[in-house]
Every structure is written in structure tokens, then in C-alpha cells.
Structure 1
């Protein structure tokens, strides 16, 4: 496995070997990996070299350390491309996962100044506020809050919001969803996130705000989501813009 005559750095060879074990399912999520000392003795390399390889895998989110216990295999992250407008339900089905939602509440509230501004409605206009925990194969992934004008959309029920709101709006109401603007930033888990997503306060999270629009430019919804940073990552393909 380790070729000390190779120009490839030894730490990188060890890192690649562990990755191969992860990809082959030899090491599974939750498994502990050998200690630095065990790797060093098995392959007659320095513990510093082993530590460099393991640190790299920890930084990638493939492994994680548990203080006083050792290093373990992390759960595989769900990857979502940032091309195309899809719902959480559609994303999970594409990945062979079973999407479910736990509804915290569905109610009509008066739009505050921020929500009204984002939806281009008057302050205090009625909006649906839908707060849900989004799960994949039963594991909490995100805490999501949707705001939708009650003048634009009607008939939202617990059954509808527990499935796919987009499917209902397109198939039942005939609304033509066209595009969205999405922003992503890093935040730390709050007490609410700790409670609903079963993670520790201060845990790294991804805060995502999405503004969705109909084909005629009418704002359809404002979505504020908190995703688990240890279980979710986003990919984007970027093409080189050529100077004219």
C-alpha cells in the first residue's frame, strides 16, 4: 500500500488508501479507524505523516474526532447541485433517499416588514408560515420556514405541506414556477436548531435563503432554511466567461 520510493507523498498515499476503504464500504459510517500509532507501526511511517493524512480527511468531512475516544467515519454528505430549481423532496428522490417532513406548524400570520418586502406585499397582509423539519431516510437534514402570500396561494393543508408544496402549486393550482434567487452563508446552530435537528448548539450550519418567482415575475415564496453542515454540501458548475 505504501511505496516509499514513489514520488507521491506518503501522507497522500495513506489518505488515498483510507478513502478507498470508505468508498468500498470496508469502513462504514460510525466505524472507528485505527489509531495514529497503529497506522504508523503497520506501515513503518511516522505518526506525523499519519496525522497529516487523517487531518486532511477530517477537513474534508469524511472522518471526525471524538475527544478521548478516537477517530470515526462520518456519515456521507448529501450533495446538491446548484443548477436548476428543485424542491427538497425532488432532490432526495433523485439520490435514492426517502424524503419526509415533520410539520412543526402551519398557520396564517401577518407579514412583518421583512417578509412583506421580499414578497412584494403590504405589511400585515396574510401569509402562510410553514415550519418543517426535512428528513432523508428518517434523519433530520434541515429546519425550513416558508412564507407564501395567502392572497396568491390557497388551500394549503397539513397533507399538502407534508409532501411537496411545489407539486401542489404546479399541478393543482396551475402556477408556473420559473426561477429563484438563493443565498448561502455559514452560521452556528441556535437553541432551536439544537432541539429540532438533534445537534449541539454552535454546530456549523448552512443558512440558505431562497426567493422563488413565477413566470410573470411575481414573488411566490420566501424560504429560510438551516441545513446541517456535517450532512449537506452544495456543488456548482461554473463555465469560464470569455472576454469579447
Structure 2
């Protein structure tokens, strides 16, 4: 489904497993041979993907021992937002008069991702629909990179829709499962080279990282999303009430 080079797709999959805590800091990942067999690619492709992750500081290699997940870097917590102040990126762009649009990077169906299953409050065996997309402004500048996850069983026909044209929330509203309340947090962190490349920014450039869980009216969790937003293109302001 993706137009990315194969080694970058493999890099994306490995990074996603690390982000989803399937590989923990200090834990060894599969060998080059095992990864090649698992994903049906040659070892040179695996080697290139792993080397890129090592250069990003996500993995490190010990000769004769294997390749391991690097320790997590510290992020700066700058706020936790209540569910009355949320507006989607698209809504913010429209409100500012900017006719933004989306570009799909990857869409997949997963199972056995413990951390995401836990976020969505579903069984480890339940299918998870994943959508990765760039959010661009009217000047075709990437302002955000969004990782969206939802229980596939709630939206069996979701893969039939083009979310570069159709709003995700309009689709969810049609199913009577649009999020109406949220639990979220916001951090600022330096972009890895993978995130930087997809956002057309320099590695280690600081980005906002939003994580939020969306609940429908029946209190069912219908969405877990992680969005990276370029700090140089969007400004956030908030007021703390006593």
C-alpha cells in the first residue's frame, strides 16, 4: 500500500514495534536473517533498514551479540489538555482560512500489538486498523504527521474510503462512533530522522507530540492517535484557570 522504498517500509515497521513497546529499551531485536525471513525481503534490505535506525539513535549494535533497542530519550511535558478544548488539525486549518489537505503514507491492519490494544481497550487478538498520513497546508508544506489507530471490528469497511478526500471524523460520525470526549497529553521532543524525513524537517528539530484517546458517546474507545506537529508552523496557546 505504500510507495516508500522497501527498506524504509521495513524501518517503519520496526520503529512502530519499538514505539508500541513490543521491543523494550535494551532488548535485542530479531537477527538480520530472521527479519529477512519474517518480512520476505533480502538481507541487504534488512541491513540498510537497521543501519538507518542505528543512525537515528533508535538501535545500537554490539558486534557478535546482536542489535538492541536504545534507551528512550527524555521529552518535555508541557501540558495535559481537557476534552473541551480539542479541535482537529483540519478544523484549525479551516478556521484560519487555510485549505489544507492530507496525503496517505501507509495503511495497515495489525494484531498482537500489546500497547495499542491496551490503549484501545481491546483483545490482543483483535485487528487494529492503522493509518499514517501527512497533513499539509495550502502551500503543500507538511505541518503534521499523524498515526491513527482504531478497532477494525468497529469499522469493517474503513479500507474502502479515501481519507485524503473524506474526513475520518465524518466517516466515524456516519457510523455513530465519532469521538465526543478525549484523554490526551502533549510533549515536545526532537524529531528522529524517520519523522524528520516524513515531515521535511531537519533531524532533532523540535516537534509537538500529541497523544490522545477518543471516546464515543457510549464511552467506548474508538481512536488512539499520535500526531507530530512542526513547532515552526503551528502555534498553540492555552489558559490555565484557577
Q: Same fold (TM over 0.5)?
A: yes
Secondary structure, in 3 states, of the residue corresponding to 2:129? strand
For residues 101-120 of structure 1, the aligned pairs below 5 Å read: 101-120=102-121
Please, what TM-score do these two structures have when normalized by structure 1?
Answer: 0.61
Give the number of the structure whose residues are more often strand, by fraction: 1
For residues 1-244 of structure 1, the aligned pairs below 5 Å read: 83-137=84-138, 138-157=140-159, 159-162=161-164, 163-170=166-173, 172-240=174-242
Please, what TM-score do these two structures have when normalized by structure 2?
Answer: 0.61
Contact 2:177/2:222, CA 8 A, preserved across alignment: no
Shift in Å at residue 184 of structure 1?
0.6
Contact 2:211/2:226, CA 8 A, preserved across alignment: yes
Distance in 2 separating the partners of 1:121 and 1:83: 26
Shift in Å at residue 176 of structure 1?
4.6
Distance in 2 separating the partners of 1:213 and 1:161: 20
Q: 1:140 to 1:176 in 2, by over 3 A?
A: closer
Secondary structure, in 3 states, of the residue corresponding to 2:154? coil
Distance in 2 separating the partners of 1:236 and 1:111: 37
The Cα offsets for residues 98-148 of structure 1, whole Å up to 9 and x where unpaired, read as 121110111211141100111000113101110001111111011110010
The Cα offsets for residues 47-89 of structure 1, whole Å up to 9 and x where unpaired, read as xxxxxxxxxxxxxxxxxxxxxxxxxxxxxxxxxx984333222
Shift in Å at residue 159 of structure 1?
4.1
| Number of the residue aligned with 2:60 | none
